[in-house]
Amino acid sequence: MKVSGFKYLVKQGVENIWKNRMMAFASFCVLLVSLLLVGVASLVYVNLSSMIGGVEDKNEIVVYLDDGVTDEEISSVKGRLDQIENISSVTFYSKEESFEDLKKSMSDYEMLFDSLGDDNPLIDAYRVQVKDIEKISDTIIQVESIEQVYSIRAPMDFVNILMDLRKIITVVCSVVICALVVISVVIIANTTKASVYSRRAEIQIMKYVGATNSFIRIPFFVEGMITGFFAGLLALIITWFSYDSLVDLMTGQADIVSVIGMNSIIQFGDVAWITAILYLVIGTLFGAVGSVIAMRKHLNV
């Protein structure tokens, strides 16, 4: 095919959008709504998972050391802890420090502490944060194998709840997103089918005058691509504005921030590129492929 011929077909595709504007508008709206539904559901999932991550980060294991460990032993334990891969940070928590904290937290029992005098019944410890909460059991086993470790306190109930919560959210979100994708594909397919059906006579005429299949397909492809691209673009703009307004609204509420933690809310800027690319690519692809698949059966003349 000559370049001029190709240009003509692309131009036809663009003109067809205007000529069939009602059907093009219907396809556009269906694509837009589908993209928004799937996009918003995905963003909700990403945020929920980030919030769980935020809570996970706050939780730590306390590693108690044997009573009367020497300074060398204390530092050698730190060295061993640093070598464990799943540990992200190690902070020393001396028995003096923990005694002070205990006194503060139980100020009503001051008398009791006074009676102890300088006798500190507590022991030195390390506060350890883990990277991946799911591997916490393995990490505990590794920590226990260190000689000077006396005992370990890990919030296992809390960890189990978090892990269950994460599983539930992942399953629920996956099901919702998959269902939305399937529903969208069915609706998009039917809208494009209806759009193409109204032009089947045109396709038939083209076949009778000896048009090749690609000659007939290219304008439909271009048309679907453009419609899909703009649906993706508008979906992006809508998502961006509403997401930013929602984040502003939430960060303005001190109560909400204190519960979920400021850092757990993902800023749109962090996901803008990936959202833009996914919206535009998926929009364009669904528009183009949907249009070509829908017209395929009319080509058999």
Partner 1 sequence: MVEMKDVSVVYSGGVDALHHVNLKINDGDFAFVVGPSGAGKSTLIKLILKEINPSSGSVLVNGYNLGKLRKRQIPSLRRTIGFVFQDFRLISSMTVYENIAFVLRVIDAPLRYINRRVPYVIDLVGLNGKADSYPNELSGGEMQRVAIARALVNDPQLIIADEPTGNIDPELSYEIVELLQAINDSGTTILMVTHEHSLVRHFGGRIININQGHVIFDEVVGGNLIHEG
Residues that bind partner 1 (CB under 8 A): 1-2, 4-5, 8, 16, 19-20, 201-202, 204-212, 215, 301
Residue type at 186?
Answer: V
Nearest approach, Cβ of 195 to partner 1 (angstroms)?
13
Closer CB to partner 1, 2 or 58, in the complex: 2
What is the distance between the alpha carbons of residues 114 and 101, in angstroms, rounded to a whole number? Answer: 15
Nearest approach, Cβ of 28 to partner 1 (angstroms)?
18
Closer CB to partner 1, 148 or 204, in the complex: 204
Nearest approach, Cβ of 238 to partner 1 (angstroms)?
31
| Cβ atoms 23, 195 nearer than 8 A | yes
The DSSP code for 85 is T
| Cβ atoms 287, 227 nearer than 8 A | yes
Single out the residue of 274, 248, 276 nearest to residue 262, CA to CA. 248
Nearest approach, Cβ of 264 to partner 1 (angstroms)?
53
Q: What number of other Cβ atoms are within 10 A of residue 88's Cβ?
A: 12
Closer CB to partner 1, 60 or 202, in the complex: 202
Query: What is the DSSP pairing of strand 149-153 with strand 125-130?
Result: unpaired
CA torsion sign, 228 to 234 to 237 to 240?
negative
Q: Is 33 exposed, middle or buried (0-12, 13-18, 19+ CB in 10 A)?
A: middle
Closer CB to partner 1, 206 or 280, in the complex: 206
What is the distance between the alpha carbons of residues 84 and 82, in angstroms, rounded to a whole number? Answer: 6
Q: Show the CA angle centred on residue 69, arms to residues 64 and 73, nearest 5°.
A: 95
Closer CB to partner 1, 2 or 104, in the complex: 2
Closer CB to partner 1, 21 or 135, in the complex: 21
Nearest approach, Cβ of 288 to partner 1 (angstroms)?
21
Nearest approach, Cβ of 190 to partner 1 (angstroms)?
23
Is 158 in a helix, a strand, or coil? helix
Closer CB to partner 1, 89 or 212, in the complex: 212
Nearest approach, Cβ of 16 to partner 1 (angstroms)?
8
Distance between first and last Cα of the chain: 22
